[in-house]
Structure 1
Amino acid sequence: MIDLHLIGIGTGNPDHLTRAAAAAMNAADLILLPRKRDATSDLIELRRTLCADVLHGATRVVEFDLPERAASDAYLAAVGDWHDAIAACWARQIATHLPHGGRLALLVWGDPSLYDSSLRIADRLRDRGLAIRVHVVPGITSLQALTAAHAIALNTLAAPVLVTTGRRLRADGWPATADTLAVMLDGDCAFATLDPHGVTIWWGAYLGMPHQALVAGPLAAVSADIVAQRARLRAEHGWIMDTYLLRRSGTGT
């Protein structure tokens, strides 16, 4: 039996690691750290730093190369194939390093429940016949870090918030039933396709990290600045993680 602990580690700030997360890391027999392409080497470095700072027992740390997602217009099919490939990597690491079972931990950006696929990939391990129990240690999400950085409330009084993706916002436009949108995974600045009249944006990149960048204001006034700043930061660091909140005016406080 494998006890798989998916540990939310927040958005890049070591102070976001909870006491429960630190305890789960130290209780693990094995922590797997995924390596991506060189441009995102600071992401693996942060995970290494967390392990070095937190671990004080016999927990083993093993790194593995994470498959890259194929570029394809068939987005969902490409993601499905990618998840299959990641599950195969996990299975190989388990067979090599935990052949008789044990406690496995994976460090997940933000929280495993919000626009992260670790839980879905874990299901694929069961499909492969592995006996596995999944445990989730919640982490600080990018939305929490965003609203904290801007010192704003996520929602207006008695009003809902719709969480969506840049892909859906670009394809479908502003949902008719929502006044506040939280937008995740937007690699193409979908906010720039909207009618900016009466819309305020709160944007943040590298939230919680030393090079955190924030922009807020009327969308019409700051949209071009965000697009330019995002491109500059991506070129400078080789990668970017960002998210933003959009709100129509006249929707409360």
Structure 2
Amino acid sequence: MYHLKLVGIGTGNHKHLTLKAIDALNSVDAILIPTKGAGKDDLAGLRHEICTQILTTQPKIADFALPIRDESTRDYGQKVNDWHDAIADIWLNTMQATLPQGGTVGFLVWGDPSLYDSTLRIADRLTKTTEVTVEVIPGITSIQTLTAGHAIPLNEINGPVTITTGRQIRDNGFPAGSDTAVVMLDGACSFQHLDPTGIHIYWTAYAGMENEIRRSGPLAEVQADIIDTRAAARAAHGWCMDIYLLRRTAE
């Protein structure tokens, strides 16, 4: 029997953890940390650093390698489902190797487990096939860090907000019915596909981390700088997590 604690850890800054998150991580028997291979070790390193900063107990800490997702042209949804199946198998194997008799296992989840993260979907696979229960501890999201860093409200007065992905912006344009769109999971600066007229952008990379970068302004004026800045940051670190908010403005 395994009890999984999926703990939202904010955006890489150990000061973003809630007291409940700290208590949860100090209560587990083991913590599993994913690694993504050469050039992306910073992500695993940040999780290890957070453990060093907040743990007062001594749970076992086990690294596991994430499988590589199929990037062929076949159906995107099926590719992701197959990838999640493979990750679930690795989770179970790692838990059984680390805690053969069962126990409580912690996962450090970027931001919050409910928002554009697959941890809950992977955990759900295990609850259907093995004796696994799940508990979620919410965390600060990159959306909160974005708006705080730029000192802006998320929504206009009585205005709707759409949270979407770069793929949707690229394929379908600015979301209909919203004055504000928050765009996540965009590795290609998909705002380039929009008519920039009347759109203001607030862009943040490495939200909440020491190397956080922010840019804002009319999309037509700042998009080239954002593209260049993102490319330079990715070259320097081997990865770049970024998020941006697009707001329609009165012209």
State if a TM-score over 0.5 links the two structures: yes
- SS class of match (1:39): coil
The residue type equivalent to 1:65 in the other structure is A
Q: Distance in 1 between matches of 2:77 and 2:122?
A: 14
* Corresponding pairs, count: 250
Instruction: Give the Å deviation of 1:78.
Output: 1.4
Is 1:131 equivalent to 2:151 in the alignment?
no
Instruction: Give the Å deviation of 1:77.
Output: 1.5
The residue type equivalent to 1:76 in the other structure is G
Gaps of 5+ in 1: none
Matched residue, 2:46:
46
Instruction: Give the Å deviation of 1:50.
Output: 1.1
Gaps of 5+ in 2: none
Instruction: Give the Å deviation of 1:119.
Output: 0.3
Is 1:217 equivalent to 2:217 in the alignment?
yes
Is 1:108 equivalent to 2:72 in the alignment?
no
Q: Distance in 2 between matches of 1:54 and 1:34?
A: 19
Q: Distance in 2 between matches of 1:72 and 1:203?
A: 30
Bigger shift: residues 177-186 or 75-84: 75-84
Root-mean-square deviation (CA, aligned residues, Å) is 1.2
Is 1:243 equivalent to 2:243 in the alignment?
yes
Percent identity for Structure 1 against Structure 2: 52
Q: Distance in 1 between matches of 2:100 and 2:225?
A: 52
> Aligned ranges for residues 160-171 of structure 1 at < 5 Å?
160-171=160-171
Preserved contact between residue 203 and residue 243 of structure 2 (Cα < 8 Å): yes
The residue type equivalent to 1:144 in the other structure is Q
Preserved contact between residue 161 and residue 182 of structure 2 (Cα < 8 Å): yes
Instruction: Give the Å deviation of 1:100.
Output: 2.4
Give TM-score, length-normalised by structure 1. 0.96
Q: Deviations over 1:106-143 (max 9, x none)?
A: 0001110000010000011123x211111111111010
> Aligned ranges for residues 6-155 of structure 1 at < 5 Å?
6-73=6-73, 74-127=75-128, 129-155=129-155
Q: Deviations over 1:88-111 (max 9, x none)?
A: 100101221223221110000111
Q: Distance in 2 between matches of 1:26 and 1:16?
A: 16
Instruction: Give the Å deviation of 1:220.
Output: 0.5
Instruction: Give the Å deviation of 1:181.
Output: 0.2
- SS class of match (1:61): strand
- SS class of match (2:133): strand
The residue type equivalent to 1:244 in the other structure is Y
> Aligned ranges for residues 225-240 of structure 1 at < 5 Å?
225-240=225-240
- SS class of match (1:84): helix
Bigger shift: residues 237-246 or 29-38: 29-38
Q: Distance in 2 between matches of 1:80 and 1:167?
A: 18
Q: Distance in 1 between matches of 2:206 and 2:95?
A: 31
Give TM-score, length-normalised by structure 2. 0.97
Q: Distance in 2 between matches of 1:6 and 1:215?
A: 32
Bigger shift: residues 167-176 or 140-149: 167-176
Q: Distance in 2 between matches of 1:58 and 1:46?
A: 18
Q: Distance in 1 between matches of 2:107 and 2:202?
A: 31
Preserved contact between residue 206 and residue 242 of structure 2 (Cα < 8 Å): yes
- SS class of match (1:234): helix
Q: Distance in 2 between matches of 1:238 and 1:94?
A: 29
- SS class of match (2:79): helix
Q: Deviations over 1:58-94 (max 9, x none)?
A: 3111111111212122221211111111101001012
